Amino acid sequence: MSVAALIPAAGSGVRLGQGPKAWVTLAGESLLSRAVAAFEGCVDEVWVGVAPALSARAEEELSGRARVVCGGATRQESVYNLLRAAQAEVVLVHDAARPFLEAAVIERVVAAVRAHGAASVVTAVADSLIEAASGRVVDRAPLRAVQTPQGFRRELLLAAHERARERALEATDDAALVRALGHPVALVEGSSWLFKVTTPADLELARALAPLWDA
């Protein structure tokens, strides 16, 4: 089965406050370039979705390493645009904002998609959890934090997105849309390395880790 990586990278990075986040650099390399590099040699094609005003810049900077499409106003729209462009049988959706992705994780997700049709990387929650309003403790043992990559048979994810559009459903991840179709999603173990660069503190951490990762 052919496999495509779909990288939504069209966000404006409001919480980070440093302009479009995909162009923020770690050790001189942009998050966008790092996300593309993580898939090189692991998949048949790589697609990135970027803000329309930055698509020419992405084409130039990636120079043939990935195909570029215009992202949308939400992450979900950006993924939908990527899905319509790519034609591979399996798609792996991965946030440009998660720079530390190992080949072994990609392999685990692809294997789970081949077996089950849909798979998401998740990780156990380390912190205690409470409901803010009541202070009530929430048992964290059965809970998982959802990371990316998430992998799907392309036709399944396309059907999930089409249905979400018809019903005006919005989700922050693709597996939720597939579950809403009634299709189960296999869970694959992720890691702390897959944290998302969201806030300035996350960026400081990522910049401190990049030399270790690159070594």
**Exposed e or buried b per residue across 91-117, where buried means at least 16 C-beta atoms within 10 angstroms of its C-beta:** bbbbbbbbbbbeeebbebbbebbeebb
Smallest gap from Cβ 38 to Mg ion, in A, equals 20
What is the contact mask toward ligand CTP in residues 37 to 66, using x (rule: CB under 6 A)? ------------x-----------------
| Binding residues for Mg ion restricted to 10-69, rule: CB under 5 A | 11
Among residues 117 and 157, whose Cβ is nearest to ligand CTP?
157
Strand bridging mode 67-70 / 45-50: parallel
Q: How many helices (H) and strands (E) does the chain have?
A: 7, 11
Smallest gap from Cβ 194 to ligand CTP, in A, equals 12
For 203, the token pair is 């960026």
- Please report how many Cα atoms fall inside a 13 Å half-sphere around the Cα of residue 187, on the Cβ side: 12
Q: Which of 3, 5, 6, 22 binds ligand CTP (CB under 6 A)?
A: 22
Could you tell me the sign of the dihedral formed by the alpha carbons of 140, 142, 146, 147, in that order? positive
**25 lines the binding site for ligand CTP (CB under 6 A):** no
**133 lines the binding site for ligand CTP (CB under 6 A):** no
Three-state DSSP state, 51: coil
Give the residue nearest to ligand CTP (CB): 11
Strand bridging mode 186-189 / 90-93: unpaired
Cα 112 from chain centroid?
A: 17
Q: Which of 23, 43, 47, 71 binds ligand CTP (CB under 6 A)?
A: 71
**99 lines the binding site for ligand CTP (CB under 6 A):** no
Radius of gyration of the chain (CA): 17
Among residues 191 and 198, whose Cβ is nearest to ligand CTP?
198
Smallest gap from Cβ 21 to ligand CTP, in A, equals 4
For 57, the token pair is 């810049």
**32 lines the binding site for ligand CTP (CB under 6 A):** no
Residues near ligand CTP (CB under 6 A) are 8-15, 21-22, 49, 71-75, 78, 95-97, 196, 198
Residues near Mg ion (CB under 5 A) are 11
